[in-house]
Structure 1
Amino acid sequence: MSYDLVLLPSGAAASPEAVDAYLTAQDGRPAVEAVGEIAAELDKRNAGLPEADAFLGAPAVDGVLGDALFVSTPYDSLGFTRNLLFELGTPRGYAVWDPQLAWLMDPAGSIAAAVTHGGAGEFPYLTRQLVDEWIPELGQPGPYLIVETGDQVYIQTYRHPDGHYDLEYREGSPDKHFAATANDPRIVADLIWGWTTGDRSGFTALDWQKLTF
């Protein structure tokens, strides 16, 4: 089973419809050097692995279309391949589009963090758009999101089957570890984004309790 991912320039689109329109407009355009370099590097790394560990379903150079790069990967290699696209694409100003989930991971306006999405894996940054999309849709088998910006500095949430959320944040030590609950996904998304950007002004909306271990 294969999984598709696409690189496109940061800021080129802001919605699934705009992504589709942008990618359609790339048809017939000559390859842009940056995506050609990324494709060549992907093929080089793939060729250096045993066949059983290959992470490309087809040569990446065949997926270059104008200023976009279409990549097919075995489902079991999704996390590895996506991380490579972040590694190679983000410094060059490229966003990652997941057409299966309709997720646009654009580094514009992002905050660098170790982000773990319980149902989708790891990501190198968080954006306002992503947290707004992810929080209401958290579900089994991994209905949680963790955003970590330092050693024992993180905020996390877990969505229960009845729709309510547990929230925790920790500021580096056990005496700065607090928890609360919320029912509104908008509040949860606001608090996670606020914490990530260093804005704690909205935290008074919940009754935070210090956790003891």
Structure 2
Amino acid sequence: MSYDHILLPSGVAATPAAADAYLTAQQGQPASEVAAQIAAEVNRRNAEMSEQDSFLSVAPIDALGGALHVPSPYDAIGHVRALLFELATPRDYAIYDPQLSWLIDPAGRVPVTVTHGGAGEFPYLTESLVHQWIPRLSEPGPYLIVEREPEVYVQTFREDENSYILEYRDGSPDKHFGANLTDPARVADLIWDWTNGDRSRLNTLSWDKIDL
């Protein structure tokens, strides 16, 4: 079995359903210049690997219109995702994950290191993504960490359906605080505020000092 990532231009779809409709419309279309460039680079890098280390399930890959389907073995998901962010983001391309119904569009992104407990690392955060992710955090890794630099981060852990722990750290153990919340939309709003450097709503919470 393969795990699929699909690249499509930023802004052509706002939902998974719209992404699927866009992909259907690309069938039979000649490859766009950008999609062809990305396909060529993915193929080149895969060709440099030994056969047993190939990160593509099917090679070479070809673009259809503005879309590029990238199938990989399950044990190469992290490598492929990182490669696609490297190649796609500077070209204003989004990554669609049909298995998780995630549309990761770089529009409006803030470059931070995001660790999603169930899916690994991502190089940026958007308002759409944080609102998509927070309500769906689940075992075995029901947490999200957004890090601006070492020891400067905000994070949340979902204890159960209606309970989130929200923490932030400003560089040292004496600047590590936490609060308990019940509304996932509010948690997402606060994480997005922190990511943008807006402390106005964060400052309205009653924070407890966290001793680690």
Please tell me the TM-score bracket, short chain as reference: over 0.9
Q: CA deviation at 1:162?
A: 4.9
Query: What is the percentage of aligned positions where both structures have the same residue?
Result: 60
Pairing 1:147–2:143 present: no
Pairing 1:4–2:8 present: no
Q: Which residue of 1 aligns with 2:54?
A: 54
- Give SS of 2:107's match: coil
Cα distance in structure 2, aligned partners of 1:76 and 1:185: 31
- Give SS of 1:31's match: coil
Amino acid across the alignment from 1:82: R
Gaps of 5+ in 1: none
Cα distance in structure 2, aligned partners of 1:100 and 1:212: 39
Structure 1 residues 162 and 100, CA, compared in 2 at 3 Å: closer, same or farther? closer
Cα distance in structure 2, aligned partners of 1:212 and 1:57: 47
Gaps of 5+ in 2: none
Cα distance in structure 2, aligned partners of 1:163 and 1:182: 8
2:143/2:155 contact within 8 Å kept: yes
Q: CA deviation at 1:43?
A: 1.2
Spell out, residue by residue over 1:16-57, the C-alpha distance to the aligned partner (whole angstroms, 9 max, x if none): 121112111111211111111111111111111122221100
Amino acid across the alignment from 1:48: E
Q: CA deviation at 1:206?
A: 2.7
Calculate the aligned-residue CA RMSD, in Å.
Answer: 1.2
1:36/1:61 contact within 8 Å kept: no
Q: CA deviation at 1:205?
A: 4.3
Moved over 4 A (4+): none
Cα distance in structure 2, aligned partners of 1:51 and 1:210: 52
Spell out, residue by residue over 1:177-207, the C-alpha distance to the aligned partner (whole angstroms, 9 max, x if none): 1111111111111110110011111114432
2:61/2:70 contact within 8 Å kept: no
